[in-house]
Amino acid sequence: MTLEKHFTASALILNKERKILLVNHRKLGVWLYPRGHVDKGETPDEAVIREVKEETGLDVKIISNKDTNIADPKADVSVLHQPYIVLCEKIKGNEEHYHIDLVYQCKIINEETAELCHNPRESRDIKFFGLEDLEKYKIISQLQKTG
């Protein structure tokens, strides 16, 4: 049996202190970077910006590469950002499926005035983690278990 594949978009967000933003996923109970499904009618670029806003309250911009040389506005051809990495993750549960996860590097817009806003429908908590925190909370191993 071939499992369904869903496209998702995720954001790697570092603040000025070089700490990574993670959310404590409500269903999985692990710390992950902001992520979610690409909805019908939206691009992965739009999805990652929407998901970050829904999960954290932050406005971000994608800073991954974007080669606009082959865009053709007359033919309505635009160029999307290149993901930092593309992951294929098996999602286990009642309805096993795969996530084709397009992971983008993002930057907080107006970081000096931006405020994290926890959305309890999306996650249990959100916060920035330094490298020492990743080891202390064993986040790296938790991230590997979800992929």
User: How many beta carbons lie within 10 A of that of residue 88, not counting itself?
Assistant: 10
pLDDT higher than 50, residue 147: no
Q: What does pTM read for this prediction?
A: 0.86
CA 50/CA 84 separation, integer angstroms: 18
| Domain architecture of the chain: domains with CATH | 5-146 (3.90.79.10)
What is the band of 137 on the pLDDT scale with cuts at 50, 70, 90? low
Specify whether the CB–CB gap between 128 and 33 falls below 8 A: no
Nearest to 140 by CA among 36, 42, 33: 33
Taking only the tens place, the pLDDT of each residue in 20-41 is 999 988 877 888 899 999 999 9
Taking only the tens place, the pLDDT of each residue in 116-125 is 887 888 888 8
Specify whether the CB–CB gap between 22 and 127 falls below 8 A: yes
CA 9/CA 31 separation, integer angstroms: 16
What is the band of 143 on the pLDDT scale with cuts at 50, 70, 90? very low
pLDDT at position 138:
53
Token pair of 66, please?
């974007």
pLDDT higher than 90, residue 46: yes
pLDDT at position 31:
87
